[in-house]
């Protein structure tokens, strides 16, 4: 997916802060006003800080899923909702994938902007693979999958590419790995392999 008709204007202050910290934002537009973005790797709490500055620097309003326990903390919960957060009970998250896919389809029909951003590892700790929610949402809604690299080695954050998922898991994950496989987290040993959990 090479065309980027959706252009955004973000915060010059956020971009300046990232530059001062030695970071570069990777962004040259979006292929559509609706989509799913995955951020990889997720290995430290600093990922949120860098990611938030990049979000503001790009100017992309995103929805994201977060642990419901975080939303129960009064001020933090309000702030996360203001940022676009949606609480998810991981013990009973059934239905949220279907609801999000329908929301993306509705947004496309109505001409509304809606992007879901997720860290598919689901945790900062090393695991044996990724949670598959992002894949099912993007596939069901037939929206682009944005590949966001959070690379502490190169000090780069942003979209490295976009995919139209075909439904062949092995082929789709291979394409994701070819783009994000070289991204290095702050704690590389904690990065999970680019594969879906069974």
Residue-level pLDDT at 91: 63
pLDDT at 2 over 80: no
Residue-level pLDDT at 72: 84
Q: Which residue has the higher pLDDT, 120 or 85?
A: 120
Residue-level pLDDT at 85: 80
Percent of all residues in the chain with a pLDDT value above 70, rounded to a whole number: 96
Q: Which residue has the higher pLDDT, 1 or 33?
A: 33
On the question of a cis peptide bond just before residue 70, with omega within 30 degrees of 0, the verdict is no
Q: Which residue has the higher pLDDT, 178 or 81?
A: 178
Compute and round to an integer the Cα radius of gyration of the chain. Answer: 16
pTM: 0.90
Q: What is the pLDDT of residues 58-75, one digit of tens each?
A: 999 998 877 778 788 888
Residue in the structure block whose two tokens are 């949606």: 86
pLDDT at 55 over 60: yes
User: How far, in Å, CA of 61 to CA of 38, rounded?
Assistant: 14
């Amino acid at each position: 997916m090479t065309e980027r008709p959706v252009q955004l204007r973000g915060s010059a202050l956020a971009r300046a802060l990232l530059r001062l910290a030695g970071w570069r934002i990777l962004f040259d537009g979006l292929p559509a006003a609706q989509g799913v973005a995955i951020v990889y790797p997720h290995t430290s709490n600093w990922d949120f800080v860098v990611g938030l500055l990049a979000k503001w620097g790009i100017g992309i309003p995103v929805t994201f899923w977060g642990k419901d326990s975080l939303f129960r903390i009064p001020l933090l919960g309000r702030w996360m909702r203001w940022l676009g957060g949606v609480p998810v009970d991981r013990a009973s998250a059934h239905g949220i994938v279907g609801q999000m896919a329908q929301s993306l389809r509705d947004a496309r029909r109505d001409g509304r902007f809606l992007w879901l951003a997720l860290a598919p590892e689901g945790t900062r700790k090393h695991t044996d693979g990724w949670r598959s929610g992002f894949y099912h949402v993007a596939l069901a809604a037939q929206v682009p999958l944005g590949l966001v690299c959070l690379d502490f080695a190169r000090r780069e954050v942003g979209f490295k590419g976009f995919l139209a998922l075909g439904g062949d898991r092995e082929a789709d994950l291979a394409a994701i790995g070819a783009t994000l496989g070289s991204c290095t987290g702050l704690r590389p040993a904690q990065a999970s392999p680019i594969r879906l959990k069974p």
